[in-house]
A and B are shown apart, each in its own frame.
Chain A
Amino acid sequence: MAHDHHPTGLSRWLFTTNHKDIGTMYLWFSFIMFLIGGLMALGIRLELFQPGLQFWDPNFFNTLTTMHGLIMVFGAVMPAFVGLANWLIPMQIGAPDMALPRMNNWSFWILPFAFGLLLSSLFMEGGAPNFGWTFYAPLSTKFGPPSTDFFIFGVHLMGISSIMGAINVIVTVFNMRAPGMTLMKMPMFVWTWVITAFLLIMVMPVLAGAVTMMLTDRHFGTSFFDAAGGGDPVMFQHIFWFFGHPEVYIMILPAFGIASHIIPAFSRKPLFGYSSMVYATASIAFLSFIVWAHHMFTVGMPVAGELYFMIATMIIAVPTGVKIFNWVATMWRGSLTFETPMLFALAFVVLFTLGGVSGVMLAMTPVDKQYHDTYFVVAHFHYVLFPGAIFGTIAAVYYWLPKWTGNMYSEFWGKIHFWFSIIAVNLTFFPMHFSGLAGMQRRVPDYNMMFEGFNQMSSIGAFMLGFGQIIFLGVLIHCIKGGKGKATDKVWEGAEGLEFTHLPSPAPYHSFEQSPEVK
C-alpha cells in the first residue's frame, strides 16, 4: 500500500468518513462510557457493602442505579458493537467502506453530545434521573426530576444515532458484498449484525415514541400514562418492553457472532452448523418481538396473556440451545489452544448459558412472581451482559486487535486480565442469585442484616472487576504502541475470513478498493 496516507490531527477524527476511524472512535467512546458506568456501579457496591446508609442519600443511590444502567446499555454495550461493526463488516465482506460514510460519522458524533446531555443532568437542580433505566411512568412522568426532559432528548438523540447506524449496516451488507459472497457465505458476525440492525430499526422508533409521550405527558397535558385522563401507566411498560426485549438481544446477538468466529479459529475447525446458526439467530430475533410482557408478570394481566408470554419466552431457549450446542460441537475433537480471545469466548459460552438458564427460570410466571425485582433478576441480566456482551466484546478486541494495529498484544497480561475478570465477575454476580432468592430487593440502598455476607462478596468482586479493567487498558495501550512485535497477516493459525486472508496487518486505511473474488 504505497499511497496509504490519511488526514491527521483533530480534523481526521471530527470530519472523517473512514469506517476504521469511526470504528475506533466508537470503541474508545464505549470504553470511556464503560469506565464511567463502572464507577457508578462501584458507587452502588460501596453503599451495599454494609446494611444501613453509609455514603449516599437514597435518592442519589437511585440516580446511580439509573445512570449506571442507561450508560452501560446505550453508552457502553451498543456503541462497542457498532464500533466492531464499523471496523469489521467492510473488511469481512470485501467492501471499500460502509455504504453511507458521511452518515456513519454523523451516527457517531451524535453520541458524545447525547451522553453529554445525559451526564449533565447529574449537575442539574433536582438531580439526575432516578427512576431506574426502565423509566416507568408515573415515576418518570409525574414524579421525575426536571432533568428528565434532558434525559428524554438524550434518548431521542441516541435513537437517531442507532437508527442511522443500523440503516448503514443493512445497506452495506446487502449492497456492498464482494462478488461471490452469497448471503449464506457471509461471516457469522455479519449475519448477527444485520439481524441486530433489523431489530434496531424496528424498536428504536418505538422507544422514541415512548419518550415523546412521556414528554407530552409531563409538559403538554396529554394523559397517555395517566389513568385520571383515561390513559394507563401499564401501557408505558408494554411500549417500553416492546422496545426493551429486542433491545436485550441487540446487546447479545453481535457477541454470538463474535464467538462464532473465535471458537472455530482456536479449535482449528470450521464452525459447526453454520446455516443452523443463521436460522437460530433469525428465530431469536423474531421471537424477541413477541415476548415482551414477561418483564411484567407482576403488573397484572389476564391469565391467558401470562401463559402466552411464558410459553413464547421459553421457546427462545430452543434456538439459543442450538447455538450453544453448535459452539460446543465446533470444539469437539478440535485442536484447541487457549489464547486470550479463546478464553474470553469460552467464558462467554459457559457464563452466558448460566445467565440464559436463570432466564428460563424467570420466564415461568408463578416463580417469577417470587423472583421479580429481586437480586436474582440482577444476577440473571448481569450474567448475560457482563460475561455475555462485555466478554464477547473483549474477546473480539483481543482477536482482531493485531489486525487493527499490526502488533501482537501481550499474551501474558491478556491472560492475567482474563483470570482476574472471570474470578471477579463470578464473585460479583454469583452471590446475587442467593441474596435474590432469599428475598433481597433491587434498587434499595439499605437491606436486612441477613444479606450482608453475600453483598460483601459482591462488593469485593465488583471492585476487583472494575480495577481489573485497568489491566485491559494497559494491554490495549501497550499493543497500540508496538506490543510484542509485529503480527502476521493471518494473525492466528486457524483464522478465516477476508480480513485475515486478503489484507495485511495492520489493515490499510482504505481496504478493498477493488473487490476481492470470493469462491
Chain B
Amino acid sequence: MTEKTTKYYVPEQSKLPFIGSVGLFLTVFGAGNFIHNTTDVVTPGPFGSMGGWIMTAGIAVLIYMMWSWWSATIRESMNGLYSHQMDRSFRYGMLWFITSEVMFFAAFFGALWYIRTFALPWLGGEGVDGHKAMTSVIEWPGFQALWPLTITPEEAKQGLKASFETMGAWGLPAINTAILLTSSWTLTIAHHALIEKNRPTLILFTWITAALGIIFLGLQALEYVHAYQDLGLTLGSGIYGSTFFMLTGFHGLHVTVGTIFLIILSIRCSKGHFTPENHFAYEAGAWYWHFVDVVWVFLFIFVYAL
C-alpha cells in the first residue's frame, strides 16, 4: 500500500472549486426563494420573485463547473499525469462517496421501517399489558394501523374513506426490477469486454446499459403519471405517499445521474479512452450503477412487495 510510485500529482491552482461553491450557493438560495414564492403565503424578500431564475443560474454554473472539472481530470489522465497511487485515491474516494450515498438512503429506509414497526402500531393503539395507548384513544379514535396505510389518522378521525390506491408490485415495478437487474448484467459483460480489449462489445453493451437506464426512467415516469392520475396516489398521500415518492424519487434521481454517467462512458469508450490497465472512470460508473441497482432491489422488496 505504501510502495514508492512516481511523483504524486498535485494540481495547480484551480478556479473550479470556488465556482462550484458559488453555483451551490445560487442554487439553494434561489431554491429557497422559489419555494417561498410558490408554496408560502409569506413574502420572501427582495429576491422572492427571482428565486426560480437564481436557482436556474446556479444549476447552470454547477453544470459548467462539473463539465470543466471532469474535462480537466480526463485531460490530465490522458496526458499520463496520474500514477497508480492517484488511481487508488480516486477509487477510495468513489467507494467512500458511495458509502455516504448508502447512508443517505438509509435515512429514508430507516424512516419507513420505524413508521411501520413502531409509529403506526402506537398510533393505532398498541400499548403495554393490553392498555391502549392514550394518544390513540384521545387523538385518533377509529384509526387502524395497517400497511399500506391508505386511511391516515386524520382521515380516520373524520370518518373518511381511502382517497387513493397503493402501487402494486407486480406490474411496472416488477418489469423495472428485471430491467435494472439486466442492466447490471450487461454492464458486467461490457466491463469484461474492456478488460479483454474487445472494443465493439464494450461499446455496444455500455450503450445497451445506458438504454436500459433510460427505459427504466421512462417506465418510472409512467408509473408516477399512473399514480397521480389513476390511483390518486400523491406525495401528500399520508406517510405511504411520503415514503413511496421520496424513496423512489431519490432513487430515480440517482438512476438519472447514473445514466448520464453511462452515456458519457459510452462516448469515451468510442474515443478509446480506456485501457485494460487504466479505466478508473469506467469502474466508478459501474460501481455507481450497481449501487443504484442494489438500492432498487431493496426498494422493490420494502416499498412495493412487502
* A residues neighboring B (CB under 8 Å): 7, 11-12, 14-17, 95-97, 99-103, 105-106, 109-110, 112-114, 116-117, 124-126, 146, 149-150, 153-154, 156-157, 160, 163, 166-168, 170-171, 174-182, 201-206, 208-210, 212-213, 215-216, 219-224, 227-232, 234-235, 238-239, 242, 302, 510, 513, 515
Q: Report the bound CA distance from A216 to B18 in whole Å.
A: 29
Give, as a whole number of angstroms, the nearest-CB distance from A265 to chain B. 26
List the A side residues contacting B15 at CB < 8 Å.
Answer: 14-15
Given contacts A125-B42, A175-B88, contact A97 B10 (CB under 8 A): yes
| In the complex, chain A residues whose CB is within 8 Å of the CB of B35 | 149, 215, 219
Q: Return chain B residues, CB-CB under 8 Å to A215.
A: 35
Interface residues of B in 1-43 (CB under 8 A from A): 1-4, 7-8, 10-18, 20-22, 24-25, 28-29, 31-32, 35-36, 39-40, 42-43
Shortest A59–chain B CB gap in Å is: 16
Q: Give the nearest-CB partner of A167 in chain B.
A: B96
Is B241 within 8 A of A222, CB to CB? yes
- Residues of B near A177 (CB, < 8 A) are 1-2
Evaluate contact between B14 and A102: CB separation under 8 angstroms. yes
Interface on chain B toward A: helix, strand, loop, or mixed SS?
Answer: helix
Q: Nearest 7 CB-CB pairs, A to B?
A: A209-B107, A221-B236, A106-B17, A230-B239, A153-B28, A232-B119, A222-B242
Query: Cβ of B44 < 8 Å from any Cβ of A?
Result: yes
User: Contact check: which of B12, B17, B118, B139 meets A103 at CB < 8 Å?
Assistant: B17
9 contacting pairs across A/B (C-beta < 8 A):
A15-B18, A100-B89, A109-B20, A175-B88, A202-B103, A209-B111, A223-B239, A227-B135, A239-B110
A398 smallest CB distance to B (angstroms): 29
A37 to B24, CA, bound (A): 24
Residues of chain A within 8 A of B97, CB atoms compared:
163, 167
Asked whether A117 lies within 8 Å of B89 as measured between CB atoms, the reply is no
Q: How far is the CB of B258 from chain A (nearest CB, A)?
A: 17
Evaluate whether A515 and B4 lie within 8 angstroms (CB atoms) in the complex, with A171-B89, A222-B242, A239-B111 already known. yes
18 more CB-based (< 8 A) A-B contacts, given A175-B89, A510-B10: A102-B14, A105-B17, A106-B20, A126-B42, A146-B42, A157-B25, A170-B92, A175-B85, A176-B89, A202-B100, A202-B103, A221-B236, A223-B236, A227-B123, A227-B135, A227-B139, A231-B115, A235-B111
- The reply to whether B29 and A216 contact each other, CB–CB distance below 8 Å, is no
Contact between B16 and A149 (Cβ–Cβ < 8 Å)? no
Cβ contacts under 8 Å, A105 to chain B: 14, 17-18
Interface-lining segment among B146-154, B263-271, B276-284: B146-154
Interface range, B side: 35 or more
CA distance A238 to B243 in the complex (A): 17
Q: In this assembly, does B142 line the interface, its C-beta being within 8 Å of a C-beta of chain A?
A: no
The docked-state distance in angstroms from the alpha carbon of A240 to that of B49 is 33
Check A513 against B123 for contact (C-beta < 8 Å). no
Residues of B within 8 A of A (CB): 1-4, 7-8, 10-18, 20-22, 24-25, 28-29, 31-32, 35-36, 39-40, 42-45, 69, 85, 88-89, 92-93, 96-97, 99-104, 106-108, 110-111, 114-115, 118-120, 122-123, 128, 135, 139-140, 149, 152-154, 234-236, 238-243, 245-246
With a CB–CB cut-off of 8 A, which chain A residues contact B139? 227
Q: How far is the CB of A166 from chain B (nearest CB, A)?
A: 8
Find out whether the CB atom of B123 lies under 8 angstroms from the CB atom of A230. yes
A150 to B20, CA, bound (A): 19
Which residues of A sit under 8 angstroms from B101, Cβ to Cβ?
Answer: 205
> A171 CB to closest chain B CB, in angstroms?
4
Complex CA distance for A368 and B50, rounded to whole angstroms: 49
- Find out whether the CB atom of A201 lies under 8 angstroms from the CB atom of B100: yes
- Chain B residue with Cβ nearest A147: B32
* Bound Cα distance A221, B140 (Å): 20
Quick one: closest A residue to B89, CB to CB?
A99
Q: Which residues from chain B contact A213 at a C-beta distance below 8 Å?
A: 107-108, 111, 242, 246
